[in-house]
């Protein structure tokens, strides 16, 4: 696939301090998956991240700072990315900063960014791994309107003392149903991050979720 030359003057900037910022974001991402339901904060690792969230236009497909930081941290030339919503600027930035290939279908992706949760395809359309290599599955970064204010969801499982409750706003109801349907396939499945602004919540495949 041919790509247009990248205009460096319009390229979305990456980390100011790639080594230390990548390490810090990786710790945040790991902690979010090891403590499901506990929000993690990327902070101001990306130039202008606070201002970008404050002026965010929901009609423009621009990655939330937490999602962009996660993709910069987790992706490289060997990790294909799928963008659910076309975004030339984001695609160019990811190619430039990570070298990651952008793929055409969910099934090809190691990581996927879904800017509009209502357009989330069926979860079983993503790579789920297999019994020999369950790690060969997709990780989803799903933008939500807010990590609070929605219907309460009770979480149980590893990393949670008894229960934890989250209330993300903007997730379609079928997300929870489809996620529950994948549970019997463990250790196969998918891991998810719900992202809003500079904050995120991890939902590993080991977590049971019940909508109240």
* CATH code for the domain in which residue 205 is found: 3.40.50.11310
What does the pLDDT read at residue 212? 80
Residue 43 Ramachandran class (φ > 0 left, ψ -120 to 50 alpha, else beta): left
Q: Does the residue 98 lie in any domain?
A: yes
Q: Does the residue 85 lie in any domain?
A: yes
pLDDT reading at 114 higher than 90? yes
Q: Does the residue 99 lie in any domain?
A: yes
Q: Does residue 91 sit in helix, strand or coil?
A: helix
Q: Does the residue 12 lie in any domain?
A: no
pTM above 0.85, yes or no: yes
Kindly report the average pLDDT of the chain as a whole number.
Answer: 87
What does the pLDDT read at residue 11? 58
**148/20: higher pLDDT:** 148
Residues 32-89 have pLDDT tens digits of: 999 999 999 987 766 655 444 443 444 344 678 999 999 999 999 999 999 999 899 8
**11/126: higher pLDDT:** 126
Q: Does the residue 11 lie in any domain?
A: no
Residues 169-207 have pLDDT tens digits of: 999 999 999 999 999 999 999 999 999 999 999 999 999
Q: Does the residue 1 lie in any domain?
A: no
What does the pLDDT read at residue 45? 64
For 129-177, the DSSP string reads: --SS-TTSB-EEEEE-SBSSSS--EEEESTT-SS-EEE--BS--HHHHH
Q: Is the dihedral of CA 195, 15, 74, 110 positive or negative?
A: positive
Beta bridge partners of 192: 140, 203
What does the pLDDT read at residue 16? 77
Q: Does the residue 118 lie in any domain?
A: yes
What does the pLDDT read at residue 43? 72
Q: Mean pLDDT throughout 133-158?
A: 96
| Beta-sheet pairing, 81-83 with 111-114 | parallel
Boundaries of domain holding 137: 17-211
What does the pLDDT read at residue 140? 98
């Amino acid at each position: 696939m041919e790509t247009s030359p990248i205009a460096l003057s319009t390229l979305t900037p990456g980390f100011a301090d790639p080594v230390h910022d990548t390490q810090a974001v990786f710790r945040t991402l790991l902690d979010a998956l090891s403590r499901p339901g506990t929000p993690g904060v990327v902070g101001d690792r990306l130039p202008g991240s606070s201002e970008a969230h404050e002026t965010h236009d929901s009609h423009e497909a621009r990655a939330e700072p937490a999602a962009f930081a996660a993709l910069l941290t987790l992706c490289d030339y060997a990790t294909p990315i799928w963008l659910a919503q076309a975004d030339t600027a984001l695609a160019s930035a990811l190619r430039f900063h990570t070298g990651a290939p952008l793929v055409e279908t969910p099934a090809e992706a190691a990581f996927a960014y879904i800017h509009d949760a209502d357009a989330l395809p069926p979860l079983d359309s993503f790579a789920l791994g297999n019994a020999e290599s369950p790690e060969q599955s997709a990780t989803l970064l799903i933008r939500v309107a807010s990590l609070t204010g929605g219907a309460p969801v009770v979480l149980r499982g590893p990393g949670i003392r008894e229960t934890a409750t989250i209330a993300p706003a903007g997730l379609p109801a079928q997300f929870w149903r489809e996620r529950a349907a994948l549970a019997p396939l463990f250790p196969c499945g998918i891991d998810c991050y719900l992202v809003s602004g500079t904050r995120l919540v991890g939902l590993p495949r080991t977590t049971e979720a019940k909508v109240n």
